[in-house]
Structure 1
Amino acid sequence: MTRMTTLLGTAALALALTTAAQAQDTTTEAPVADAPVAEAAPAPTADPAAVVATVDGTEITLGQMMIARAQLPQQYDQFPADVIYQGVLDQIVQQQLLSNSLTDVPARVGWAMANEERSLRAGEVITDLTKAAVTDEAIQAAYDEMVAAAAEEPVKEWNASHLLVETEEEAQAAKDRITAGEDFAEVAKEVSTGPSGPTGGELGWFGPGQMVAEFEQTVEGMEADDVSDPVQTQFGWHIVKLNETRDKPVAALEEVRAEIVGGLQEAVILSKIEELKAAATVTLAEPDAFDPAVLTNLDLLEK
């Protein structure tokens, strides 16, 4: 939807909704205490193909209004259905009047409509594909595979603490204090310049790739309760204490459900695209036929 179309729709709805809001302010009564909760009324039905208006012979259908209503922001839900209905109808009628007045249709309008139709049609296919592929059974099966893979090739995680200082000499001095018997956390609180210093240098659990390479290589070669020699990274000099290690636990199904659903959706969509591509004839222009930057030259659309 273009900016001007949005502005028109907003203007058409604003007057009706403002009037309704003012009427509600003067007629709404205080709710009765302990009033029984009314049962939800059944959803009204009608034929989406029913004509609700004509503009110089062009029919406006109930289905068009339904789609326009579905695209309204959630804030409009506070208004009565009859007010929304009239506002949406006014919006579409005004748009049709302006549309009918356009005698010289720019080529860009046709290209935009082609893009919109292509997107809507593709979206319908995607909806059907994902609805069929993403079932409770498929989600559970994908989760079971995840659990099995984690058991077959467990990923190690580390729980470590560190202190960060500017120089190697400062790091070695801190290490000497710890070796002499001082508590690592207390030394870290005193000398560390890193954000974890005030909490004793605690980093919690982390896995491969979550720390800079030098830090990860250090903990990989340590045993629980080991304290490292000074280690230099881009942030400065560290002394690292490895608290414990573990195999990365598998998250509960509900924690990874969204991730699994996304993976199932992506897989079925990509599979369908490859299937369609194999059966289709797709011809592309030569790679150097156009300057890629031409896509930003929107002035060409006005010619």
Structure 2
Amino acid sequence: MRRNTTFLSAAALAVTLALPVQAQDAPDAATVLARVGEAEITLGHALALREQLPEQFLSVPDTTLFPAIVEQLIEQELLHQHKADDLTRRQRSMLDNEVRNFTANAALSEVAIAAASDEAIAAAYEAFAAEFGQGEPETEYNAAHILVQSEAEIEEVAAELDGGRPFDEVARERSIDGSAQSGGDLGWFGEGVMIPAFEAAVMELEPGEVSPPIETQFGWHIVRLIDRRDAQVPPLEEVREDLSGEIQREAARAFVEELRAAAEVENLATDMDPSILGQRELLDD
């Protein structure tokens, strides 16, 4: 859902005095900050709006931001009361969609966060590790490369390496790849991660060997195999985010299926011509 932060105008941010509120020893979310007719604006509304502000507003001192937020909420309520009963069909439809989207996301977020507990992640990691250890171990490679744009440049690089210059030194000086800072080191990777031509060159090397120049869609490479090993189960912290995401996605899917199974859902659009989506004039009053 698009955050309804609207705008904090320069005039609002220039306000330096908060509206007078009833003194309380311990304000809470229900504390009333302002009234617009019968509508009450609470501290909860102000706190929620602050959480929705773009980052550039978060560095504004609270002494300036608080009264500006209160003024913003007052202005919003004035405009809301003026327009709420006079929305066009298009506006009402958009509002319905935004409310539906917000509440749907809130429901899914609660389910997902509850599902991805430390216990659930630990159990998922145990299952992941068990599956990882099944079958033949996969090979991982630690390689470095030097990447340049042209064949002429790679021939110069090859000549420098043949002349005895250290691979990492040449990589730092000549390579146009982001790995140049680390001497061309690409870290450990498994099969299927690199593009085929690059992977084929790596797999033909023994540790310490350097490949002849190879061409890919990225340019010209010379590859050095640093080492190879049987793939190891990555530590939990390396895969925690992936496991948590999968748990949350599965929990969300299961929750929606549970709600659907318990509800009477009738999809009346299956026989409609999809081109009807182009008839935007239907929203016109």
SS of match in other structure, 2:35: strand
**What residue is the counterpart of 2:253 in the other structure?**
270
Measure the CA separation in 1 of the matches of 2:157 and 2:229.
30
Say if 2:143 is the partner of 1:160: yes
| Aligned pair partner of 1:289 in 256, 260, 273 | 273
Say if 2:45 is the partner of 1:67: yes
CA contact (8 A) 2:14 2:68 kept: no
CA contact (8 A) 1:156 1:247 kept: yes
SS of match in other structure, 1:141: helix
In the TM superposition, 1:192-211 aligns within 5 A as: 194-195=176-177, 201-211=184-194
CA contact (8 A) 1:164 1:171 kept: no
Measure the CA separation in 2 of the matches of 1:106 and 1:126.
30
**What residue is the counterpart of 1:147 in the other structure?**
129
CA contact (8 A) 2:212 2:222 kept: yes
One-letter code of the match for 1:134? A
SS of match in other structure, 1:143: helix
**What residue is the counterpart of 2:109 in the other structure?**
127
SS of match in other structure, 1:242: strand
One-letter code of the match for 1:136? D
Q: Cα offset for 1:17?
A: 4.4
Measure the CA separation in 1 of the matches of 2:79 and 2:272.
41
CA contact (8 A) 1:134 1:264 kept: yes
**For this pair of structures, how many residues does the alignment match?**
270
Measure the CA separation in 2 of the matches of 1:270 and 1:82.
40
Q: 1:201 to 1:292 in 2, by over 3 A?
A: farther
**What residue is the counterpart of 1:91 in the other structure?**
75
What is the TM-score with the length of structure 2 in the denominator?
Answer: 0.69
In the TM superposition, 1:1-303 aligns within 5 A as: 6-7=6-7, 10-11=8-9, 15=11, 17-20=13-16, 44-45=27-28, 47=30, 53=35, 55=37, 59-62=38-41, 66-67=44-45, 69-72=47-50, 73=53, 75=58, 78-79=62-63, 83=67, 86-88=70-72, 90-99=74-83, 103=86, 105-152=87-134, 155-163=138-146, 166-167=150-151, 174=158, 178=162, 182=164, 185=167, 188=170, 194-195=176-177, 201-279=184-262, 280-286=264-270, 289-291=273-275, 294=278, 297=280, 301-303=283-285
1:189-214: CA deviation from partner (whole Å, max 9, x where unpaired): 69966546787654443333442211
CA contact (8 A) 1:215 1:233 kept: yes
Q: 1:185 to 1:254 in 2, by over 3 A?
A: closer
Q: Cα offset for 1:115?
A: 1.1
Measure the CA separation in 2 of the matches of 1:77 and 1:260.
39
CA contact (8 A) 1:52 1:62 kept: yes
Measure the CA separation in 1 of the matches of 2:253 and 2:44.
31
**What residue is the counterpart of 2:21 in the other structure?**
none
Measure the CA separation in 1 of the matches of 2:160 and 2:95.
72
CA-atom RMSD, angstroms?
Answer: 4.6
Q: Larger radius of gyration, structure 1 or 2? A: 1
CA contact (8 A) 1:228 1:241 kept: yes
One-letter code of the match for 1:95? L
CA contact (8 A) 1:155 1:248 kept: yes
Percent identity between the aligned chains? Answer: 31
Q: 1:190 to 1:230 in 2, by over 3 A?
A: same
Question: Runs of 5+ in structure 2 lacking a partner?
Answer: 19-23
Measure the CA separation in 1 of the matches of 2:68 and 2:113.
31
Which shifted more, 213-222 or 155-164?
Answer: 155-164
CA contact (8 A) 2:33 2:40 kept: yes
